[in-house]
């Protein structure tokens, strides 16, 4: 069965994606910083049918942790898909750029922009060997100028640009940017503090779009859940 490494898999979209792949029998390497949450999810992944689950608690921005993730992949023998999903919003409420503390912005970039690249670098030998896929989870905030979204949004814009360049440099890989759209998660609630976000879709409803991308022969590029889900709904070819 195929092997995926999913960062930030203890809750939200990462967990929903991991559960869907577990149900298909994938072998999974997963992480998150909070061991308690990660342990709960790991149990659910095993119950759901994953062939193998290796959970490594830690911070993707930490080089030693990324080394442990790479070791876990090595122990499974191969890697088909790397999903760089772990991400932080930054302050809540989000400050305008005029007041954005640069040390905090550096922390946001460390997790959202540099860690996914460093993890991809560490796993390139395995990804090249499998002609595998890198999926970088982005946001419409990377391409739209929403007031207050300059920190998080620019970190995702940089993620998207290195994804495009990596795709050009590594033509045997598929490097996808995936925009999931709004989802009812802890991050989304932090982005809209005090607001009722119950009208936003659950992350589980977005996962079929990512599954479609993973099962497709679509070339490297940017894909949104809305577009992919519309095709799922109509049965139209990719
Ligand atoms: N929700 C939305 O509306 C929305 C919209 C557009 C894009 N996105 C993107 O979708 C992805 C998933 O977001 P979400 O809404 O599911 O977020 P979430 O509910 O906050 O979940 C984030 C996950 O990442 C983990 N994580 C956070 N920082 C980490 C770090 N430094 N190292 C390792 N794990 C870390 C969290 O666990 P710990 O806190 O325990 O580490 C958790 O498992 C993100 O890339 C986000 O930018 C979300």
The answer on pLDDT for 96 being more than 80 is: yes
The answer on pLDDT for 22 being more than 70 is: yes
Q: How far is the CA of 8 from the centre of ligand 1 (A)?
A: 6
Give residue-wise pLDDT tens across range 161-176: 999 999 999 999 999 9
Quick one: pLDDT band at residue 236, thresholds 50, 70, 90? very low
Q: How far is the CA of 188 from the centre of ligand 1 (A)?
A: 9
Q: Is 186 in the pocket of ligand 1 (CB under 6 A)?
A: yes
The answer on pLDDT for 156 being more than 80 is: yes
* Cα gap 167→185, rounded to integer Å: 30
Cross-sheet strand order for the sheet of 27-32: 52-57, 27-32, 3-6, 81-84, 133-137, 174-179, 221-224
The answer on pLDDT for 238 being more than 70 is: no
Decide if 152 contacts 90 (C-beta within 8 A): yes
On average, the pLDDT of the chain sits at 96
- What is the pLDDT, as a whole number, of residue 170? 98
Q: Is 17 in the pocket of ligand 1 (CB under 6 A)?
A: no
Q: How far is the CA of 7 from the centre of ligand 1 (A)?
A: 9
- What is the pLDDT, as a whole number, of residue 231? 79
Give the number of the atom of ligand 1 that is nearest the alpha carbon of residue 13.
Answer: 16
- What is the pLDDT, as a whole number, of residue 50? 98
Q: Is 46 in the pocket of ligand 1 (CB under 6 A)?
A: no
The answer on pLDDT for 27 being more than 90 is: yes
Give residue-wise pLDDT tens across range 75-92: 999 999 999 999 999 999
Q: How far is the CA of 90 from the centre of ligand 1 (A)?
A: 11
Task: Please state whether the predicted TM-score (pTM) of the whole model is above 0.95.
Answer: yes
Average pLDDT over residues 119-126: 98
Q: Is 19 in the pocket of ligand 1 (CB under 6 A)?
A: no
Q: How far is the CA of 175 from the centre of ligand 1 (A)?
A: 20
Q: Is 187 in the pocket of ligand 1 (CB under 6 A)?
A: yes
């Amino acid at each position: 069965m195929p092997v995926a490494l999913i960062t930030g898999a203890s809750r939200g979209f990462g967990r929903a994606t991991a559960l869907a792949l577990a149900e298909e029998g994938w072998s999974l390497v997963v992480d998150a910083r909070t061991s308690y949450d990660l342990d709960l999810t790991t149990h659910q992944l095993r119950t759901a049918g994953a062939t193998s689950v290796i959970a490594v608690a830690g911070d993707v921005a930490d080089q030693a942790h990324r080394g442990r993730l790479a070791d876990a992949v090595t122990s499974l023998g191969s890697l088909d898909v790397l999903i760089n999903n772990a991400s932080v919003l930054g302050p809540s409420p989000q400050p305008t750029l005029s007041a954005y503390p640069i040390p905090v912005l550096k922390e946001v970039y460390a997790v959202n922009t540099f860690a996914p690249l460093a993890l991809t670098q560490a796993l390139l030998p395995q990804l090249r060997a499998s002609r595998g896929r890198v999926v970088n989870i982005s946001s419409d905030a990377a391409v739209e100028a929403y007031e207050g979204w300059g920190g998080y949004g620019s970190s995702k814009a940089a993620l998207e640009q290195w994804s495009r360049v990596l795709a050009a440099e590594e033509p045997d890989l598929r490097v996808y940017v995936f925009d999931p759209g709004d989802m009812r998660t802890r991050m989304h609630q932090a982005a809209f503090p005090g607001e009722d976000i119950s009208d936003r879709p659950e992350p589980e409803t977005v996962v079929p779009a990512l599954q479609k991308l993973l099962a497709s022969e679509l070339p490297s590029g940017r894909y949104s859940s809305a577009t992919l889900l519309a095709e799922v709904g109509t049965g139209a070819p990719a």
